Structure formats: C-alpha cells, structure tokens
Amino acid sequence: MKTIDELLAEGVAGKRVFVRADLNVPLDGTTITDDGRIRAVLPTVAKLAEAGARVVVASHLGRPKGAPEPAFSLAPAAARLGELLGADVAFATDTVGESARATVAGLADGQVAVIENLRFNPGETSKDDAERGAFADQLAELADVYVGDGFGAVHRKHASVFDLPARLPHYAGYLIATEVGVLKKLTTDVQRPYAVVLGGAKVSDKLGVIDHLLERADRILIGGGMAYTFLKAQGHEVGSSLLQEDQIPAVQEYLRRAEEKGVEFVLPVDVVVAPAFPDLKTKAPAHPTTVAADAMPAGQMGLDNGPETNKLYASKLADAATVFWNGPMGVFEHPDFADGTRAVAQALVDSPAFSVVGGGDSAAAVRILGFDENAFGHISTGGGASLEYLEGKTLPGLAALED
C-alpha cells in the first residue's frame, strides 16, 4: 500500500485530503475521558496541514442507528483535536449535507475540518452495497485524496473505510502503517518465547484468536470474565461469575489441543470475589474476598485475579521476548478489582519483551491506572481490528488501501 510519505512527496498543497480517522473516544456527557485515539491520528493530520493540504477529518463515534443523536456528536472530539493541533478546527454539523459542503469549501490551505459522525448516515454501515456506495460517492465529492488512518475501524466493511478508497487516490496514514508493522511482528518472525494474555468478558469474543494462536504462541494466559468459562470447563464451581455454558465444549477442545501442541495454558489459581457486581459510578466498597480458583463459593462472583495469580502471571511474562495483551483481568474501573489488570501491565513494563497492548479496554486501563504509555512497545488503537488481524482475517479497510 502507498503511504502518506509518498503522498507528501507528490505534493498536497491546495488539495482536499479526506482522513478517515478513529475519533471514537469515550465520553462522560461531552467530556472526553481518554483522548488516546485523537492523539494517535495527530501526526498524520498535522503533517498534512503543515504541507498545505485542506484536511477533512471523518470518523464514527459510538453506535447511533443511522440518524443524528446528540449524545454521539463528534463536536467534543473536533474541539480536542483543535487543542492538540494548536489551531482552529472547523466543524460541520452533518456528514455530506449543506454544512459539510460549505465547511470544506471554506477551508484554506493548511486548515482542518471535522465532519459530523459518519454513522449518522445509514449508508455508512449498510450491508447493501448500493446504499453504501451511494454514501461513498457523496463523501468522495468532498475530497481529492483519501488517507486511511482509522485503524480501529479497518475490520469494518463500511462506506468510509472500504468503499471510499476505491473512488479516490488512496494512501495509508502514519498510524495504520505503524499498527500493521507492529502486528507483523506478532505474526511473522516472532521473537520467542511468545506469550499472549487474553482477558475481557466473553470467551466467544476471543475464540477465533485463541484458535489461531494455538499454532503460534508458546503460552496463553487467561483472565477476566472469560476465565470462569475455562475454570468451569475444568470442572470447577464458579458461583455467580460470568459464564458462557455454550462455549464449554469449545474451551475443552482448546485445552486439549494446547496440551497436544505443547502450548502452555495458564489459568487463575485464586480469584477476588464479591456478592454482586460493583457500583462503578460511586466506587462504593464491594467487600471483596480472595478464594482459591477451584473453591469458589456459590453466590459469589469472580471479579479479578487474586494475588497468587498475579505473581504467577508476572513470572510467566518475565522471560517472554514477545507479549500480546488484549482484555483486562478484572473490573479494573473499580479499585477493589483493579490489581489483576495492574499486575499484568506492571509485568509488561518490567519485562524486556516487545509488548503490544491490543487496544480497547486494555489500552484504556493502562491510561486509567496511570502507566507511562512509552513503557510499552506499542499500544494499539484497535482492539477488534488487532484481534481479527491475529486471527488471520482479511481486514476490509486494509485491503482497500492495497493497490
């Protein structure tokens, strides 16, 4: 795929450059609680503006149903982008309507605009090729060149990600080039031992990546809500913990295959439990206790890895040369259940391994828990995209950037 450096070498002064970014940031009302994704696209936007392009930034935010919803407006993200750029950023209140056309037409060389949430238009996410294509045609009228830099969306076959690049000269931005380079280090010429840490709520979300990694990883560490399905598959009581009963046969098959292939599967040896899910707004004390993973009492819910598991996992990561981590170890948003996630993050900081934090909640946890982002090899902006890449899937947004 062509890169933004090739585009800059060709010259962009006066050209309208459409940058498909990922500004899908978490909001508390209109307050951005983690601006990591905005900062990630900053090098691409700043370089284009510096070179005299008229930059049109577009993104989705949340899951609106194809119509405007004020709670999902990109206005706060546009304002934050302006603060980070140190320049005014114009904001269009629609995607391809009168405001978007006027805003883009009003740009001078080196200026930046953000158009409203792409998912306010049903054509963005439509499964109908014609409807998606029609929206892509309208977006193409706003630009002369396309730059794909929204890595968090490249696994989606959406109009702005898949269809629009076919209608314009297209290039990969700095973020996508970096993300793909990092993921190649996890799939080809991997430095060993290669350890993978998987957490999060559901086993079903990770089945594909587990299947693929059984052929590649040396050890797989499991935590988070998905760990309880693994423990149940081994015959242990899991109380009222999150459980996907229908996934137990698949999990048992993975454990069998891992043993057959010599891949080490590491599960919690102790867990932190409480009678109910904690209140994440008030952060009220949840009265946790720690129990052995094979002796969970009925009526108790597993919500984090215990201290012995934290030590075990740290030891399993200490000698790794490559580590990929996706998914928190517990309900890290509550102080009573953050230690497991903190312990994994600290183990990666302490390890000499090339460590990749696979986006989503893991990336948010690293920031919320106060870790220096530079202490990790790479923090991805796309959890779902990273997982699908590691599953060996073709990602529509990357395929569209290939010539």
CA distance 371 to 241: 29
> Can 11 be counted among the known catalytic residues?
no
Which listed residue (202, 216, 257, 393) is catalytic?
202
Is 306 considered catalytic here?
no
- Annotated catalytic, 167? no
Q: Is residue 360 annotated as a catalytic residue, yes or no?
A: yes
Mapping DSSP onto H, E and C, the string for the chain reads CCEHHHHHHHCCCCCEEEEECCCCCCEECCEECCCHHHHHHHHHHHHHHHCCCEEEEECCCCCCCCCCCHHHCCHHHHHHHHHHHCCCEEECCCCCCHHHHHHHHCCCCCCEEECCCHHHCCCCCCCCHHHHHHHHHHHHCCCCEEEECCHHHCCCCCHHHHHHHHHCCEEECHHHHHHHHHHHHCCCCCCCCEEEEECCCCHHHCHHHHHHHCCCCCEEEECCCCHHHHHHHCCCCCCCCCCCHHHHHHHHHHHHHHHHHCCEEECCCEEEEECCCCCCCCCCCCCCEEEECCCCCCCCEEEEECHHHHHHHHHHHHCCCEEEEECCCCCCCCHHHCHHHHHHHHHHHHCCCEEEECCHHHHHHHHHCCCCHHHCCEECCCHHHHHHHHCCCCCHHHHCCCC
**Residues 199, 340, 384, 397: which is the catalytic one?**
384
Give me the catalytic one of 360, 382, 383, 397.
Answer: 360
Strand 194-198 and strand 31-32: the pairing is: unpaired
Catalytic residue among 37, 47, 54, 157: 37
Contact indicator for 22, 39 with CB cutoff of 8 Å: no
Phi, psi of 354 (to 5 degrees): -75, 110
- Give catalytic residue positions: 37, 202, 360, 384
